[in-house]
């Protein structure tokens, strides 16, 4: 296998696959109203041709695509398990129970604020935005839609809350990744993120409070909400005991049990609930896992909410992830992405331009490589020396990686996060994008801090001396090798 640094691909050549993909994507999705799979395949084909022209063999290019897919396999497993979870929790009456009690205690005017805060707390406890959106988020969509609130607003509030908790949780994989790659203490990293993330949450909650006034109780048809609750009672056995199932999953993840076994337990409990609590058949339980739960109540709202989930429902998302990662794999491992990043580094002249360039690089990586983990890994490698050279503490870099990488992944329709949200909440980026307020606000806040110098931490003289010694030691080891 030829290594990426053995072949030189210039900036303009590296830009070709990205430009072609974006142009075709816009035409296909916006004009033709089709999915993003084919534009990504076209982009992958162009990227392969550019890599071949640069001297890579077809075997090299194949390996790049496989590497990209392998990076996404953990995400694919989670996507599949979330589909199974939704199917089993729909059939088991768990989602119906959460929606039923949610309709009793949450008022329409404060729903957006409430669901954002609930998702923040749950995600903070378990460290996973995906698990939060796949469980609490699904129920939240049902409650909000029952209250007549637009799907985009509901999804935006859920995403804002889920990503706040994910970003600030010491259990979060992206939080640990950003801290680890930059050599920053985990809790120093989290404390430093408070400066951008808390104001972002305050802005989001303020916007949701204003938007919520449009849905005050006197503007909502109370009879429709009551009818929805009545149909739920008639169609499912509603009992607070079913709330134990999501509680168990949340507690398992909070106890640092990995997401996969925790979700498997949730799937099993949902399946058993469908059989023994709801009185369903074994065949019905398996069908809910495979093709999704199906119900016909005669109530259009309830039928729309509860016909879904299952393994099959996630195949669009899985295929999108695989196709996107073949494109990202070629860009990353051929050196094209590095060529684009190197061009960005040329404009770095100050702290403000360094912070801005880091966040921009994360967004570009999210768009090109379609995976938020890569949007943290690649820029961390590219900008580490630049931060040290300007005497900036590593926690400035780790915070910028999360501000630009973790949070903006939701705005790219073909990114694993964008396709997961669409597959789980059933809402497109176009609909929820304007309402994912936290995710919009935080990168902007991070750039403003870079411009003003607020909360930008400089290295002490002792830390700068230690950094220089570390660089010299690495050079000596490299020369000795």
Work out the end-to-end distance of the chain between its first and last CA atoms, rounded to an integer number of angstroms.
Answer: 22
pLDDT at position 459 over 90: no
Q: Using an 8 Å Cβ cutoff, are 200 and 168 in contact?
A: no
Per-residue pLDDT, 308? 82
Nearest to 289 by CA among 303, 268, 305: 268
pLDDT at position 136 over 50: yes
Least confident of 90-104, 213-227, 306-320, 337-351: 213-227
Confidence band for 153, pLDDT divided at 50, 70 and 90: very high
- 172-186, 296-310, 408-422 — which one is most confidently predicted on average? 408-422
Residue 293, beta-bridge partner list = 308
Q: How far is CA 407 from CA 33, 160, 371, 395, 447, in A?
A: 26, 9, 12, 17, 14
- What's the CA gap between 153 and 328, in Å, rounded? 30
Q: DSSP class of residue 31?
A: I
Per-residue pLDDT, 476? 52
Confidence band for 479, pLDDT divided at 50, 70 and 90: very low
Per-residue pLDDT, 40? 87
- What's the CA gap between 111 and 209, in Å, rounded? 9
> Is residue 5 within a helix (H) or strand (E), and if so which, with residue range?
none
pLDDT > 90 fraction of the chain, expressed in percent and rounded: 48
Confidence band for 325, pLDDT divided at 50, 70 and 90: confident
Q: Is 237 left (phi over 0), alpha (psi -120 to 50) or beta?
A: beta
| In 27-149, alpha helices (H) | 37-53, 58-91, 94-105, 111-126, 129-132, 138-146
pLDDT in tens, 224-269: 778 888 999 999 999 999 999 989 988 887 787 887 898 899 999 9
Q: Using an 8 Å Cβ cutoff, are 88 and 271 in contact?
A: yes
pLDDT in tens, 380-391: 878 888 898 888
């Amino acid at each position: 296998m030829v290594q990426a640094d053995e072949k030189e691909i210039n900036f303009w050549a590296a830009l070709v696959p990205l430009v072609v993909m974006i142009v075709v994507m816009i035409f296909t999705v916006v004009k033709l109203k089709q999915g993003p799979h084919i534009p990504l395949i076209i982009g992958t084909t162009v990227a392969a041709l550019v890599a071949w022209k640069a001297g890579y063999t077809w075997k090299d290019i194949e390996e790049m695509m496989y590497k990209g897919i392998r990076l996404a396999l953990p995400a694919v497993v989670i996507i599949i398990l979330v589909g199974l979870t939704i199917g089993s929790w729909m059939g088991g009456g768990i989602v119906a129970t959460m929606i039923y009690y949610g309709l009793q205690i949450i008022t329409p005017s404060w729903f957006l604020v409430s669901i954002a805060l609930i998702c923040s707390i749950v995600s903070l406890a378990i460290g996973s935005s995906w698990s939060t959106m796949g469980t609490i988020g699904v129920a939240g969509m049902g409650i909000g839609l029952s209250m007549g609130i637009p799907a985009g607003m509901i999804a935006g509030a859920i995403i804002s809350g889920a990503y706040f908790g994910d970003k600030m949780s010491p259990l979060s994989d992206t939080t640990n990744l950003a801290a680890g790659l930059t050599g920053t203490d985990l809790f120093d990293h989290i404390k430093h993120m408070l400066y951008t993330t808390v104001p972002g949450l305050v802005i989001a909650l303020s916007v949701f409070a204003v938007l919520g006034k449009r849905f005050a109780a006197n503007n909502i048809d109370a009879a429709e909400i009551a009818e929805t609750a009545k149909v739920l009672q008639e169609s499912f056995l509603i009992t607070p005991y079913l709330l134990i199932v999501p509680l168990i999953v949340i507690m398992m993840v909070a106890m640092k049990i990995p997401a996969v076994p925790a979700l498997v337990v949730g799937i099993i409990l949902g399946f058993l609930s469908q059989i023994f609590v709801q009185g369903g058949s074994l065949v019905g339980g398996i069908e809910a896992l495979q093709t999704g739960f199906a119900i016909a109540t005669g109530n259009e709202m309830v039928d729309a909410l509860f016909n879904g989930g299952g393994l099959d429902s996630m195949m669009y998302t899985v295929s999108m992830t695989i196709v996107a990662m073949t494109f990202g794999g070629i860009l990353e491992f051929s050196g094209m992405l590095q060529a684009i990043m190197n061009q960005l580094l040329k404009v770095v002249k100050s702290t403000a331009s360094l912070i801005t360039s880091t966040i921009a690089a994360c967004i570009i990586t999210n768009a090109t490589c379609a995976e938020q983990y890569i949007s943290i890994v690649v820029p961390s490698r590219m900008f580490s020396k630049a931060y040290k050279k300007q005497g900036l503490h590593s926690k400035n870099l780790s915070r910028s990686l999360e501000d630009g990488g973790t949070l903006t992944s939701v705005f790219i329709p073909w990114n694993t996060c964008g396709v997961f949200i669409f597959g789980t909440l059933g809402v497109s980026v176009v609909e929820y994008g304007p309402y994912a307020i936290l995710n919009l606000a935080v990168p902007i806040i991070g750039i403003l801090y870079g411009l003003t110098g607020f909360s930008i931490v400089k290295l002490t003289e002792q830390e700068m001396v230690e950094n220089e010694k570390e660089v010299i030691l690495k050079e000596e080891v490299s020369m000795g090798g």
